[in-house]
Structure 1
Amino acid sequence: MRPRSIVPSAAAASLVLAVMTSAPVAAAGPVGAAPGAVRAAADPLPLEDLVTGDAVMDRLEELQAIADANDGNRALETPGYEASAAYVEQVLTDAGYAPERQYFTFEDLVVDDLSLTAAGVDVTEDLYAAEFAPDTPDEGLTGPLVQPVDEMRHGCTADAWTGVDATDAVALVSRGTCAFSEKVLAASQAGAAAVILYNNADGALNPTLGAENDAWVPTVGIPQAAGQEILAALESGAFPEATYDYQSHVEEFESFNVLAQTPGGRTNNVVMAGAHLDSVEDGAGINDNGSGSMAILEVAVQLAAAAEDGGWPDNAVRFAWWGAEEVGLRGSTHYVTDLAENDPEALEDIATYLNFDMVGSPNYIIGVYDADESTHEAPVEVPPGSAETEDVFTDYFDSIGQPWVDTEFSGRSDYQAFIENGVPASGLFTGADGSKTAEEVELFGGTEGIFYDPNYHSPQDTIDNVDPTALDIMSRAIAHAVAVLADDTLAVNGVANPELADLTAEARCLGGTAYVAVRATNDETVRADVRIITPFGQQKFAGVAPDSAAYQSFTSRAASLEAGTVTVRGYTWNDGDPRYHAYEVPYEAVSCG
């Protein structure tokens, strides 16, 4: 649902709404709560007590076994991805869900030529063209080899290239301090024709520039060992020149998302939780993103188990395991685009989207997407309701004394398509290729100056790459947020529980006497009970049908009325448990004399 026009009143959690349609419904028997009783929705399920890091780690062991049995990875269009999806589907089916696959096709790049020689060193292994970087000319690109002048050779700013003649050169830059995109931008603005990024930790480097940009130049990632060999050659007097050749073409691929929704709860106010299921081709992808995908799987299982005792939450929860994220957010983008084009009402019915991409990094932070921009100015438009979604996470962490930090609300994960279509979003993140600061070490421990996940997008992203403490903290936080929002999204999108719409209270005259006429429409997809309370009496309605109205006129027994308000209460029922919300509706003064 999209936010409705709401104005807070003095009453707790009440709303003032206007404009009225539909025919009246006759008064019926008593509403479940006694007159004047205040009964709010039941407390959210304590899912944070049920979803543990140990349980999620057990599921990650299953993913590792799947990768081990399938060439070491779980990438799109591989047996490893198929087996990962089959595992998720079996667990969901056993828990009582009915998972579905959503297939999609897309076009992507295939490498034709990829080679690099720098300072006489031929790099032949673990050579990766940066995602979103352009091709070289057909004959390749040759130029002088240059480095930034900052101490660590990170090349993050224009100052790092002061005094360097980088025109038409190939820039040799170390991983570290800032995003790959910042390094490439600074080098290209200094005049470089290409960039070589070398790892500052053991292993390969498979960089991404985040998105297409005309400012990028051809860029390649190489392992630490290859970078050190090139540096040693330069120090020994080798000719400082590099030749980089990269050409690619476009092919069509097919993949699929796995979707599952709770069988109970309102389907017109859905809470979504998503994580990508695919890995890169070079590793098992256990932190990126087995951690997020297995965390929401355990949440789904425990939510279903809890529902056996207390019923499903009021709002339906839809879980999504996205395909082809690692090649450009393909699965989530297809899902949202398909809704926008073919079922826009269903897109509007998504109250908020929660994204979990890497929640077990070995040098972790406890990061929350900074939807309120209190630390980082977002480079994207932040939909209304996102800051309130963020608050669900931060309030939880504050309540248990868990330190947390803001991470940029960048749109560089599967929430991108949602926010581009106005759906509120937030999420959690333990870090990827950014460097840990001294302040973050003080909050969370770990090692300053190295990456949150030194094995990001590498063959070393295995079960041994997941920090159990981070995984436990984040898994419980995910469970808490799902439970809270499944119970109530009022703060996020203004949708009350239950939702009454088109409320009016009108003071009018009849035979010299002032009356107040009150009307309220049931905006739920199920029957709701309604109670209208005025200073002159009250009326109860039971089982008001969806899109139908409760109506009553009350006499004041006076010739005039001052302006005032009436209270309209709505009730729905979940396995015998009433869900209650109150609305304060104003009426204007009237004189009938």
Structure 2
Amino acid sequence: MKTHRKAGTAALAGLALAATAAVSAPAQADKPPHPNVNTADQMARSIQVENVMKHLQEFERIAKDHDGNRAAGTSGYEATAQYVEKELRKAGFAPKRQYFDFFFESVNATSLNETSPEQRAWPNNPMSYAPSTGASGVTGELAAPQVATGCAISDYAGADLTGKIALVSRGTCSFAQKSQVAGQAGADAAIIYNNAPGALNGTLGGVSDANIPTTGMTQADGQALLAKMAQGPVTMTFILDKTMEMRQTFNIIADSSRGRADNVVMVGAHLDSVGSGPGINDNGSGSAGILETAIKLNKSKKYNNKVRFAWWGAEELGLIGSTHYVNDLVENNPAELKKIATYLNFDMIGSPNHIIGVYDADQSTHQAPVPVPPGSAETEQVFTDYFDKIDQPWVDTEFSGRSDYQAFILNGVPASGLFTGADGRKTAEEVRLFGGTEGELYDPNYHTPADDLTNINVDALRIMSKAVGYATMSLAIDTSAVNGKTNPRPGNGPKPKKVKPQIPHHLKAS
């Protein structure tokens, strides 16, 4: 694992002793804001976590007033967008909405109850895009395939599951394939249990008539049910009452008031939450961080490149908003897409059991499973150089494409970003670097109603918000390392000296 570049391997033991202090109070955290915002360092100092928290407080208030969430296509999302737009206009921006259609789903009620041999409720997490059972639900005996993962009809060895509920393990193939194969075997519904400790929050990836009502549960609960089934029949009632329809939502796009329109730095975060909670870390934190950076940026007149801020809609439903934005450029304005120098993505920057993670665009720790456009490693280095400069430990996080930078990199736009962790588990080395609890989830409240203000690690939010500001301003001044485009005069450099014209000697008056 790549870590803080100024610390060699032999120095890691000493670094570990100071890691918690470094996280709690990085070099720039205690300095007051600079009166000017003309350099990347001044921008980082200008970002105050108290202001970022004020945005998050507003996001939480909105969620509480709107059914507990800020999901795409809901009144909570609309109210959140109005707040962001109001703050942008106060800062001198002219934000625009980019509308698109998407498939809306909302769980009205869900339960998973054993009716025989015992009567008890089992926790469950319905899969996105799973069809509704209706209000009355589905009742049936549990049936498991002979091959636990249930990825092929042969895994059921010809068994007829008509009227039954399939109990299947995660692994080998997609959740959608498991759901559809269980349906082919005759099952009326499917339960997929995790193949590792922890809750299972999954998606079927899209609407399909072949899907059957499907939910997820923990590995422990799945194994407990299998043990019961070995003793005799187990009957369950699964209710998944849902609203499913086409709706419209939007992205918010806001360009800086100055800068070269032919060399654009894009900065983005998704604005929507899941339907099951307020989404304050995921991804109120990233949205609030880039909002505060935008507010501070428009106070400066010392940068060269246009900065385009984006708050994406419907990320939680499959990166829909960012994909729509990029695909629209590909189809209708490819020249505009080529003007984007690089894209910076911020999806969860305040996780309670956090890491300070930078997308590993240079693949020094993780081999990327997606294409990595040229310029991405240089974009990553903007973040890592900043952390090194302030003596802040950091680690690589996989350049996976599993957030809103996916559509950009698939179309050749360089990218990088920051991440404090979601449903992965903290390692011993990460505890040495950042504090926290080994073996626990980075965010135990990921995609739950408990993702509220109490779920935010303010130290992580401070460190990352300042890094958002630093990287944005650094690239607003100069992207030459990323794409080779230079400016006549760097925004934080000296003005060119005026030179008195020289008259050739033979033309001088005698």
Which TM-score band (shorter chain)?
0.7 to 0.9
Rounded Cα–Cα distance in structure 2 between residues aligned with 1:85 and 1:188: 37
Contact 1:74 1:80 in 2 (8 A): yes
What is the CA distance between 1:118 and its match in structure 2?
Answer: 5.1
Code of the aligned partner of 1:361: S
User: Could you say if the C-alpha distance between residues 182 and 96 of structure 1 is closer, same or farther in structure 2, counting changes exceeding 3 Å?
Assistant: farther
Find out whether 1:253 has 2:247 as its counterpart. Answer: yes
What is the CA distance between 1:135 and its match in structure 2?
Answer: 9.0
Rounded Cα–Cα distance in structure 2 between residues aligned with 1:392 and 1:258: 26
Contact 2:142 2:166 in 1 (8 A): yes
Structure 2 unmatched ranges of 5 or more: 1-37, 150-155, 498-510
1:304 matched residue in structure 2: 298
Rounded Cα–Cα distance in structure 2 between residues aligned with 1:46 and 1:103: 35
Find out whether 1:144 has 2:143 as its counterpart. Answer: yes
Give a deviation string over 1:349-393, Cα, whole Å, max 9, x none: 000000001100111111111111222121111111111111111
Contact 1:128 1:220 in 2 (8 A): yes
Rounded Cα–Cα distance in structure 1 between residues aligned with 2:115 and 2:227: 6
What is the CA distance between 1:491 and its match in structure 2?
Answer: 1.2
Find out whether 1:61 has 2:51 as its counterpart. Answer: no
Which residue, out of 390, 399, 418, partners 1:428?
A: 418
1:72 matched residue in structure 2: 68
Find out whether 1:293 has 2:287 as its counterpart. Answer: yes
Structure 1 unmatched ranges of 5 or more: 1-41, 150-154, 156-163, 174-179, 498-570, 581-593
What is the CA distance between 1:280 and its match in structure 2?
Answer: 1.1
Which residue, out of 267, 274, 278, partners 1:280?
A: 274
Rounded Cα–Cα distance in structure 2 between residues aligned with 1:86 and 1:119: 47
Rounded Cα–Cα distance in structure 2 between residues aligned with 1:388 and 1:312: 22
1:131 matched residue in structure 2: 128
Code of the aligned partner of 2:307: V
Rounded Cα–Cα distance in structure 2 between residues aligned with 1:579 and 1:291: 41
2:395 matched residue in structure 1: 405
User: Could you say if the C-alpha distance between residues 335 and 48 of structure 1 is closer, same or farther in structure 2, counting changes exceeding 3 Å?
Assistant: same
Secondary structure in 2 aligned to 1:83?
helix
Rounded Cα–Cα distance in structure 2 between residues aligned with 1:423 and 1:573: 23
Contact 1:119 1:234 in 2 (8 A): no
What is the CA distance between 1:421 and its match in structure 2?
Answer: 1.1
Identity %: 51
Q: Structure 2 matches for 1:514-529, cutoff 5 A?
A: none
What is the CA distance between 1:494 and its match in structure 2?
Answer: 1.5
User: Could you say if the C-alpha distance between residues 89 and 395 of structure 1 is closer, same or farther in structure 2, counting changes exceeding 3 Å?
Assistant: same
Rounded Cα–Cα distance in structure 2 between residues aligned with 1:104 and 1:110: 18
What is the CA distance between 1:54 and its match in structure 2?
Answer: 2.3
User: Could you say if the C-alpha distance between residues 344 and 147 of structure 1 is closer, same or farther in structure 2, counting changes exceeding 3 Å?
Assistant: same
1:547 matched residue in structure 2: none
Rounded Cα–Cα distance in structure 1 between residues aligned with 2:265 and 2:119: 51
1:265 matched residue in structure 2: 259
Contact 1:361 1:467 in 2 (8 A): yes
Rounded Cα–Cα distance in structure 2 between residues aligned with 1:139 and 1:69: 33
Contact 1:141 1:245 in 2 (8 A): no
Find out whether 1:376 has 2:366 as its counterpart. Answer: yes
Code of the aligned partner of 2:80: S
Identify the structure with the greater strand proportion.
1
User: Could you say if the C-alpha distance between residues 573 and 470 of structure 1 is closer, same or farther in structure 2, counting changes exceeding 3 Å?
Assistant: closer
Contact 1:265 1:312 in 2 (8 A): no
Rounded Cα–Cα distance in structure 2 between residues aligned with 1:248 and 1:492: 46
What is the CA distance between 1:256 and its match in structure 2?
Answer: 0.9
User: Could you say if the C-alpha distance between residues 147 and 467 of structure 1 is closer, same or farther in structure 2, counting changes exceeding 3 Å?
Assistant: farther
1:390 matched residue in structure 2: 380
1:584 matched residue in structure 2: none
Give a deviation string over 1:210-241, Cα, whole Å, max 9, x none: 95799x997522489x9499669939956456
Contact 1:116 1:122 in 2 (8 A): no
Rounded Cα–Cα distance in structure 2 between residues aligned with 1:240 and 1:55: 53
Give a deviation string over 1:129-169, Cα, whole Å, max 9, x none: 22367999x988854359999xxxxx9xxxxxxxx999989
Contact 1:46 1:483 in 2 (8 A): no
Secondary structure in 2 aligned to 1:251?
strand
Q: Give the paired residue count.
A: 438
Secondary structure in 2 aligned to 1:337?
helix
Code of the aligned partner of 1:451: L
State the structure with more CA Rg.
Answer: 1
Code of the aligned partner of 1:316: K
Secondary structure in 2 aligned to 1:46?
helix
Code of the aligned partner of 1:396: Y
Secondary structure in 1 aligned to 2:58?
helix
1:353 matched residue in structure 2: 343
1:455 matched residue in structure 2: 445
Rounded Cα–Cα distance in structure 1 between residues aligned with 2:339 and 2:145: 53
What is the CA distance between 1:248 and its match in structure 2?
Answer: 8.0
1:220 matched residue in structure 2: 215
What is the CA distance between 1:474 and its match in structure 2?
Answer: 0.6
Code of the aligned partner of 2:215: V
Give a deviation string over 1:464-485, Cα, whole Å, max 9, x none: 0000111011111111110111
Contact 1:113 1:247 in 2 (8 A): yes
